[in-house]
Structure 1
Amino acid sequence: MKTITKIKQLALTAITLLCVSFMAKAQTTMYSTNWNDGFDNWTVESVHQNTIAWDHRGSSDGIQAGNSLDMQSEEWIVSPEFDFSDGSTFTIIFDRAQSDNASPAGKLDIIYTTNWSGSVASAAWQTLDLDITNGLTVGWNGGDGYVTYTKAIASTSATTRFAFKYTSDGYDDNGTPDNTEDDINRNRVRVKDFSITTSGSVSAWPLPYTAAWTDDLEDWTVVSHKHASKEWTYKSGGTAFMTDGKQDQDDWLISPTIVCSGSLQKEISFKAGWKSFQSSNISLYYSLDYAGVQEDATWIPITEELIPTTHGFGFATDLLYNYSHVMDLDQAAVTFGIHYAPFGAYGDSQNETRIKNFKVKEYVATSLDDQTITGFKVFPNPATDILNVTNVDNATAEIYNLAGQLLKKVVVSNQQINVANLPVGQYIIMVQQDDKVAVTKFVKK
């Protein structure tokens, strides 16, 4: 009997140690983006003016950069700032793919800095020792061509930023096209599903915030006041779902604390939908005094019954309702609550409601993500007489000096602007085509 008891004690000790080990290794997603609706506060910078800049590809393909035949490329996209100073273990995860050529025609690096001041040239960049150029098949293959990369982060700085840097050298040392270069061939790369995980606890999440819901509802709190058998539940694909079970429900899905200070206006957005009919709705609230008990907090309504009754049904991406609300909110600690409640004859039949892509970010009225002309470039820079512009035609161009005075206004024809009559100096050009705009600097020599 003593032997059996001792074996059990040893087994329990081993199980305890394993549990502690798993707990120590557990990671919480502290940031994620797939650049669905824009660049999500990432900064795009082109070192060369005649290349293909980073572009966001939509809801499933992330971001893309590339070279154009014999053109030299150096394209950067730099992340927002992250605080890695609490001593936790941090890990970055992302997917990457390439198209067009089996041998790398360009090079993609991921690097980081702790002294960003607004431009890639002024920052000191450090390598992550991660080869993300070689070993890839050609093509996106509907997502199967992507390779997932995972890398632990050594930085302990409160001001850490990451950058994806794409380079290719289509010219020889004399600045002329060199057809012997491997990267003379066209090449494109894509990155998607970028996330950062931490082994530590997160007391308050910084902006921009995205609910990743990768494997579960993570640090969101589920509260069910009536029928706990039917409550907010995780569903694959980064989704939370709720079903009424033909019962009168009163259920909450409560966010972690989010830091919403630093600017006045914030934008809250997510996607929502019903399965087959509307027997319920969801409302969005926020609280400044939530301390772990839903009913003890003061909940301020943002939008009640937010899905329009005229909206259709189904969970395909194009059938979901895109909710977005901009509000004045400058508070250091904000908790959001999504409240589910059926209405009408809730007992007649069962319905399901889903939400995904919950985001909170600072709102900029003239978002460059939405209004910038994709792929806009000017070259040569410096220019002598003709300034070439890309991706626009029959657009309006305005040229200003550095004092803000309008010097020239023309309609772009054949993607060229005559600047021969401008004095030598630095200028700002603004081009508007339809509802898109692009602004950049150039030098007249």
Structure 2
Amino acid sequence: MKRIITTLSAAILAAMLLPACVDTHDDLPYVDPNVQHNNDQNQGPGQLEEGVFISEAFTSSLGGCKSVTDGADFTIDHSTAKITGYENNTYTATTAYLVSPTIDLSAADAAYYTFEHIIAYEKGDVFENEVFMVSTDYSGDASKATWVALPISAAPNAGKPDDWNAFTTATFNIPADYLKNGVTFAFRYKCTDKAAATWEIRNFKVVKGSATETAKYEKPTVKESSLENPLTVSEAISTPTSETEKCYVKGYIVGFVDGQKLADGAKFTASGCTVESNILIADNANEKDVTKCIPVQLTANTKHRTALNLKDNAGIIGKEVVLGGYIQTYFGVNGVKSPFYSALDGKVIDAPAAATGFEGDDFTKEKVTEINVDFTKTIDKFSVYNFVKPDEVAHVWAQGESYGMKSTAYVGATSSNYESKSWIISPSVDLSAYDKVEFFFDHAVNYFGEKGVAAACAIYVSKDYQGGDPSKSTWTKLEGINWSADSKTWTFVDNSLDLTAYKGDNVHIAIEYTSTTEVAGTLEIKNLYLGASRAAEVPVSGFDGESTVKTATLPFEYNFKTTVSLGDFVVYDVKRFASKDEHLWTAGKYGATAVANAESESWLISPKFTLESGNEYELKFTNWYKNAATPANVYKAYVSENFAGDFGTATWTPVAMTFGNASSNNIVTIDLTEYAGKSFVIGFQYTSTAEEKGTFEVIDISLKEKPKEAEKPVSGFDGESSVKTGTLPFEYNFKTSASLGDFLVYDAKRFASADEHIWTAGRYGATALANAESESWLISPVFSLASGKEYELKFTNWYKNAATPANVYKAYAAENFAGDLSTATLTPLSMTFGASGKNNEVTLDLSQFAGKTFAIVFQYTSTADEKGTFEVIDLSLKEKVADIDPQPNPNPSDGDGTYEKPYTCANLLAQELTTSSTGTGYVVGYIVGSVNGSSLNESTAVFGTEGASTSNMLIADNPDEKDWSKCVAVKANNSFKAKVYVASDPTALGKKVVLYGTIKKYMGTSGVNTASYCELYSADGSKTELGTKPTK
């Protein structure tokens, strides 16, 4: 059955956006199927190969395809057609189509489509969100066409892929119903404003003929479960993850996870548990095999966490637990996330509320004379009444110590909004004793969108409500409420309303929350008051705690973070509202922290310092802040020379405080030399306003005399200085020996305070690394080479963090070296470098030094701009081995795998090899392309450079070969693959190669895996030797 995919809104948006969303090509809905948009070369249209209807690599443009969208767009990124609804920390709801040209398949007896793609961060339904489709009635409006989904081959990644290059190839035959004129293909992408995947597509083709189909990705089935029939843990382990399917799981609590991965962080105990966020369950109460367990997320501020975390409930280990939640990836394996139900030993901890009616206790008939509740501590005698509550939402209203009363119908596990309507209702409040009545509450909101919280929430008062269904009573909506705008920093806004009109009445107050499937914001309320009008609170002013100013001696150092104390510092509050903030400055695990809930001003004041005349002094401290658009307005530093405990009479002089990025540590250094010979204190001022109530931290502080003079660098041998003599053949491996052996280190410039050593030996080799400007030499034993012979130096190097490595790392031959580099003759050696972070083999001809005595020296230099890392892994110096007889243009017809008679590709393909074969030999052929897939076949063979693979190459006996069955796949050694793979060097195409390596079954047929040596022949017959040539 054909599926019509259309909505009114999508149709309108697509119609509006279509002209603006067409790619830069001037294609109309119907185009000539014989014209290819050669987007790889950016040369405009070109003829397609015979039998190819569409061919788009998407390396530099969308070619003949076009993107039509009502949100995010298909763009070219990393040589793919990429789309994601997530950009700059924002999700954009999107329905987008990447539409092909309309083509005529009526002359084809058979045809197939193929493309490569990768899906990441998909937490929804891939069969709805990433679809490849075909239509026979597309006429320019994708939303109005009839589309039929076609198979794909890719399991989506719920998170970031382990390898962004792990593309999956989808190849499927096109159903006969679509072998007609007027056929259009499209990739359709969907996401919401709460969650968005990333989809990358490349090498899309529609080709005449039949193909071997790749495996079809089938929609995973989730085993049904219920509270009465929950899954076992073993069943949950094998259940496909789902962002939408609820499930129930039963097991025994066996431990918790402390780490990033289950395999590394599983702890089968409750003893010493410091983790509140998860537990580990299994089918066996004594299970110790991590592969038979699943982790369970205990969401913050829920009854599940309070009752089930092992930090606070060590005695529950081994007990049976039943959980309702979602099977999703957690700690790298299947786990239960976002629980909505839990029961321990048969006793329910928390369960979803009923769809309508009261949720929990009904206090509406109770009578009080005042309400003064802190919702972060209790729900008090408020009742929750649900008018509309979907099953997917466990609770619309929930009380917690971090948020107070929090209401939302957004479910994070499914990234979905739900329609709801729910009230919290006060008990009956008798206002007969009051002349004036005040109603107060504070609140913070977010995610209510353009219409704001006022469109979704309201506060009502009733004089005739007697309990039960509130819809049967009269409720009056309170006007004049100062509702907050959406706030990503969750800034709380106060409201105080005069309800004197209700004096003498018995009233109920109700707060309403509503949501839709489009908008489900979050409302938080911490404090609520209803009673007699209160006089405006008078702010506190004065010392908060200790008021005696202490005296400090230099050098002074104090760390608020490690001591978790303010030490000898005092706090003076200029303005603090005690009902909002018990303290403004506190000491905790992050340092001395200032944060406020109301307008305030408070100072953190140091002990008194007295500096000697004639010296230079430096103040240093580390600060941190967040939630302040202009931190310099909120956080300031001063010096006072006359503060002695009376803040009001002190004079404060500002000092220049700098700030780093929000939520990042920043080190501040201030020159206080002008205060030499004076006494003073340092004061940190914190100010919060209605607009900015940020957080400021001082982590550590020091006040010291400046060093009298700059440190002088060390020069000389670092350790052993006795020059050793080396004998040939010489071989040494720094990595395996974890030692410098007979090599010496000479530091021309090293600052001892920054670097104890520059050259060291460890598990990676001989490593040079510095924290300051430096110059250091690694010196080999001295070698004496015989006259009349040829010699070869080989070593493996590695580097990182150097934009120009040749400026930082150099090699020389030091003739006549006897312990003093300044008297030796240094001859530069031509050192090459591979890619940063990759091993690189260097081979140098040292025949010019035959008959001479010298040492090999490696120079490492670091500057203020480049302080990279350099490693020498191994080194050898030997007499050259005579070359095997050269073969200027080898191509025998009866190869036997020797250098003189290498195998031809035909020879190799005639052999029956397995993947476990271990034979080696020489093979000769011409480079003709590569394989874009895991096995060599008609659809994966790529002849030429367009769409070439970076992981292999194809060779054949004919340089113009286009028949994949006559080709051999080759994997080359990392040290020279960039010079023979056409994806890295297109000029390699067509060149003759003689390869030596392991001959075995590779990519489904006879091949070479891996080639360790290669002779690469140029058109003039000259050859370049790559890798390590085997000896006879």
- If the length of structure 2 is used for normalisation, what is the TM-score? 0.17
Higher Cα Rg, which structure: 2
Report which structure shows greater RCO (CA 8 Å, sep ≥6).
1
- If the length of structure 1 is used for normalisation, what is the TM-score? 0.37
